[in-house]
Amino acid sequence: MDSIIRRRCLAHLARSRILGLRYTSTTTTTTTPPSARPDLASSKTTSAVTAAPPPSKPKHVSAPKTEDITPPKPVDLQRYHISDPPTPVQQTFATRYFQAPSTPPIHLWTAAKFSTIPRSPYPEVCFVGRSNVGKSSLLNAVFGRPKEKIARVSSKAGHTKTLNAFGVGGVNRDTAAREPLKQLSSGALVVVDTPGYGFHSRQEWGPEINKFFEKRKQLRKVFILIDAVHGVKSRDLVLLQHFEDNGIPYQIILSKVDRIVMTDSKSPGAEKLTRLVKKLDKVYEEVDEQLRTLDQGQRPKKRDVLAASAEKQIKGLQGWGGGAKIGIEAVRWAVLKACGLDCDEQGNRRVVEGLEIQGEEEEDEEVVAWKPQRYGTK
C-alpha cells in the first residue's frame, strides 16, 4: 500500500515539474509586467513594436562668412549720374600721369590778385572749399606725394591766402633754367589751389577769386570740396549758385569721407564696409536734397558727386590695392577728363595739338588757343 502511494506521489511530483517548465517557457515569450522588470520591459517592447523616430531638429542656417561677402568696389563710393566711371585701365593711366617719377609737379606761380596771374597755354582746374575742408591735403594726395607737401598744409583755418598754381604732367629738363611755365611740356595741366572761404577767411579775396572763375579762359572746371560729415553749408550753396548762374563747370567732392567709411584706424572688412557704404548712401541722399535749391523749382539736375580722403586707404580687400587713398583715383581721372587729357578704354591718350598763346600784344591776356584733337598713341 505504501509503495502504491509513494509511486503516485512521485508521478504527481514529476507532472508538477513538467508543468512548471512549460509555464516558464511560455511566460518568457510574453512581455514582463513593467512593475516587475522595467529594464526588460522597455527592451522587449521595442523588439516587438517598432519605435517612432525622434522628431528632427530644425536645420541651423549659418550666416555667410565674412570672406564669402563680396566687398564694395572703390567705384561704389562714387556717384556717376552723367558720366561713365573710369575703367581700371583709365584709372591706371591717371595714376601714372600724376605719379610719374620723372615729371614731379612743380610750383608755377603765386598770385594775390587776378591781374598778376601770368599767361598760360595749358588747361587749368582749381580746387575750392570752406576753410580747413582739406583742399591742400587732397591736392598732395592727388599729386601722389603726400610727404613732400607740395601744397602747403596747416591745421589752422585760412592758412592758404593766395592763389597757388602747380604744373603736372611733364617737365622739359632742357629748359629747367627758364621760367616755370616754360618748363612744362605739351600735354601738361595746371592745378590751382585757392584760399578757403568762410571762417577766418578774408572777405577781400572773394572778388579776385570770382574774377578768376569768370575770366580765366584756361579754366576747365572748378572742384568744390564739401565736408562729408558736415554736409552742404550756406556758403557752399552761394558759391554753387554763382557757378550755375555764370555757366562755370564744377565738380563736387565730398572730402574726409574716411570718417564715414572707416570708423576706426583699421581697414574695415567686407561686411563692415558694406554697412558703412550704406551709411554713405544716406549722406549722398542728404546732399542731393540740399542741392535741389539750385534747381529753383525746375526739374532736378543730375550731378556727378565724388568722395575722397587725403588721409586713409582701405587695405586687404579685393579691388582695393594700388596704395591710393580713398577716391583719389576718381579725382585724378576727373581732372584729366576736364582738361581733355584723358584716354580711351584701351589706354590711348588724347593727342594735344595747336598749343600756343595767341594775342600777346592785346590787353586781353586770356586768349588761348588750346584744343585737344583726338585719341591716339602719339
Q: In the structure, what pLDDT confidence band is assigned to residue 362 with cuts at 50, 70 and 90?
A: very low
The pLDDT value given to residue 70: 87
The pLDDT value given to residue 30: 46
Cβ-based neighbours of 376, under 8 Å, separated by 6 or more: 348, 349, 350, 351
Average pLDDT over residues 155-159: 48
Look at 87 and 36; give whichever has higher pLDDT.
Answer: 87
Cβ-based neighbours of 128, under 8 Å, separated by 6 or more: 135, 194, 196, 197, 209, 222, 223, 224, 225, 239
Q: Listing from the earlier edge strand, what are the strands of the sheet with 250-255?
A: 106-111, 163-168, 189-193, 124-129, 219-227, 250-255, 305-307
Label residue 241 left, alpha or beta by phi (over 0 means left) and psi (-120 to 50 means alpha). Answer: alpha
Q: In the structure, what pLDDT confidence band is assigned to residue 131 with cuts at 50, 70 and 90?
A: confident
Percentage of the chain beyond pLDDT 70 is 67
Q: In the structure, what pLDDT confidence band is assigned to residue 148 with cuts at 50, 70 and 90?
A: low
This prediction's pTM: 0.75
Cα dihedral 345, 349, 353, 357 in deg (nearest 10): 110
Mean pLDDT of the chain: 79
Can you name the residues that pair with 120 across neighbouring β-strands? none
Q: How many CB atoms lie within 10 A of CB 376?
A: 11
Residue 374 has pLDDT above 60, yes or no: no
Q: How many CB atoms lie within 10 A of CB 12?
A: 10
pLDDT 10s digits, 184-229? 888 899 999 998 886 555 555 578 899 999 999 999 999 999 999 9
* Weakest-pLDDT range from 60-74, 173-187, 236-250: 60-74
Q: How far is CA 138 from CA 22, 52, 202, 240, in A?
A: 104, 72, 22, 20
Determine the CATH number of domain 72-349: 3.40.50.300
Give CA–CA dist 39/30, Å, rounded.
15
- Max mean pLDDT among 55-69, 148-162, 203-217, 257-271 falls in 257-271
Q: How many CB atoms lie within 10 A of CB 294?
A: 17
SS3 57: coil
Residue with cell 578704354: 345
**Buried b or exposed e, range 254-286, using 16+ CB within 10 angstroms:** bbbbbebbbeeeebbebbbbeebbeebeebbee
* Domain layout of the chain by residue ranges: 1-33, 72-349
SS3 187: coil
The pLDDT value given to residue 44: 46
Give CA–CA dist 271/364, Å, rounded.
57
* Weakest-pLDDT range from 8-22, 192-206, 317-331, 336-350: 8-22
Give CA–CA dist 206/101, Å, rounded.
36
User: Does residue 271 contact residue 212 with C-beta atoms inside 8 Å?
Assistant: no
Looking at residue 234, its amino acid is S
Looking at residue 258, its amino acid is D
Instruction: Tell me which residue of 240, 183, 210, 181 sits closest to 368, measured CA to CA.
Output: 181
User: Does residue 78 contact residue 327 with C-beta atoms inside 8 Å?
Assistant: yes
The pLDDT value given to residue 324: 81
Q: How many helices (H) and strands (E) does the chain have?
A: 9, 9
Give CA–CA dist 280/205, Å, rounded.
34
pLDDT 10s digits, 288-329? 999 999 988 888 889 999 999 998 999 888 878 767 899 999
Residue 116 has pLDDT above 50, yes or no: yes
CA 187 to chain centre: 29
Residue 17 has pLDDT above 70, yes or no: no
The pLDDT value given to residue 109: 93
Cβ-based neighbours of 58, under 8 Å, separated by 6 or more: none
The pLDDT value given to residue 185: 84
Look at 150 and 85; give whichever has higher pLDDT.
Answer: 85
Helices 234-246 and 205-215: angle between axes, nearest 10 degrees: 30
Residue 286 has pLDDT above 50, yes or no: yes
Task: Check residue 164 and report its DSSP letter.
Answer: E
Cβ-based neighbours of 94, under 8 Å, separated by 6 or more: 86, 329, 332, 333, 335, 336, 342
